[in-house]
Structure 1
Amino acid sequence: MVDVRLRPMRWWDIETVAPLEQELFAGDPPWSAEQFWSELAGVPETRWYVVAEAGDEVVGYAGLAAPALAGDPADVLTIAVAPSTQRAGVGTRLLEALETEARRRGAAELLLEVRADNDPAQAFYQRHGFEPIAVRRNYYAGHRDGLVLRKRLPG
């Protein structure tokens, strides 16, 4: 386990988050710095982003699209962990934070998409209670399918 502290993502984090995004999601395609800027500049009622810090280094980040109305689903927009801290509990901490925020905002369930060929990510989400509910054909770059996963959130 890596000792991390979670805090809200701020504009100055984009300088660190954007290169990490490029490294982790090079073939998907990755979000640009401008996309992160746009998300952070958006309406706080609809978006929530968090970073994980180990010491003074950002080692992960995650984002949530909040439900429009209580009882609607919330969407995991992104979740990423630096290679140096993968499999050390950082992803779990980030996912738990998203789930807590989704519940706080009244979401009935949490949805996300994952590449159908990303077995480690699928196993991670299934360990955390997500189940596959649909396939999105050619959702990712390179004509790769995406799986839609859902976790029901008790009220």
Structure 2
Amino acid sequence: MMTPEDMAALHAQCFQAAPRPWSAQEFAAYAQDTNVLIRFIEGGFGVVRVIADEAELLTLAVDPARRRQGLGDALVQSLCTGAKVAGAQDMFLEVAADNAAACALYSKHGFARVGRRPAYYAGTDALVLRRAM
């Protein structure tokens, strides 16, 4: 398990500019929120919020030195399972349109594009993806 400080440090490695890295205080607040699921794996973590029958994948961070080892895959699977157990019927997320690796990961797990937000991430479009649980 990672501390909020550990999570903030890893998040800063993964999201140096856009979206901005989250603070330890933000991660500590999410950890206290009963609607939030946080899943850890050595080298990464993910955060999902479930409200009523909808889930939103808020962030997913994998140590850049540990990418392409299946950690993201395991985290997405764990987060989807957790959200479904918590009652989610659908899960949404936003991803930078130019992040091919993340787009491929989410596609592999059944997420499909349902929208686009122009210039959402410092000039880069965000894709809104959805997966039925």
- Partner residue, 1:26: 16
Q: Tell me what 1:51 maps to.
A: 40
**Percent of aligned pairs with the same residue?**
37
Per-residue CA deviations over 1:109-134 (Å, capped at 9, x if unaligned) read 11100001111111111111111110
2:125 paired residue number: 145
The RMSD of aligned alpha carbons is: 1.3
Q: Tell me if 1:129 matches 2:110.
A: yes
> What's the TM-score once normalised by structure 2's chain length?
0.92
* Cα separation, 2, equivalents of 1:120 and 1:90: 13
Structure 2 residue aligned with 1:4: none
SS in 2 for 1:94: helix
What CA distance in whole angstroms lies between the structure 1 residues aligned with 2:81 and 2:69? 20
Q: Which amino acid aligns with 1:125?
A: Y
Q: 1:13 — aligned with what?
A: 3
CA distance in 2, matches of 1:32, 1:84: 21
How far apart, CA to CA, are the structure 2 residues paired with 1:78 and 1:148? 13
Aligned to 2:30, which of 28, 39, 44?
A: 39
Poorly superposed stretches of 4+, deviation over 6 Å: none
Cα deviation 1:4-35 (Å, max 9, x = unaligned): xxxxx5xx612222111111101111111121
How far the C-alpha of 1:103 sits from its partner, in A, is 0.9
User: Which runs of 5 or more residues in structure 2 are unaligned?
Assistant: none
- The equivalent of 1:76 in structure 2 is 57
Q: Report what 1:5 is aligned to.
A: none
Larger Rg computed on CA atoms: 1
Tell me the number of residue pairs that the alignment of Structure 1 and Structure 2 aligns.
132
Measured in 1, the distance between the counterparts of 2:84 and 2:5 equals: 30
Give distance in 2, aligned partners of 1:147 and 1:105: 25
Segments of structure 1 that go 5 or more residues without pairing to the other structure are 1-8, 54-58
Q: Distance in 2 between matches of 1:84 and 1:135?
A: 30
- Decide which of 32, 47, 53 is 1:63's aligned counterpart: 47
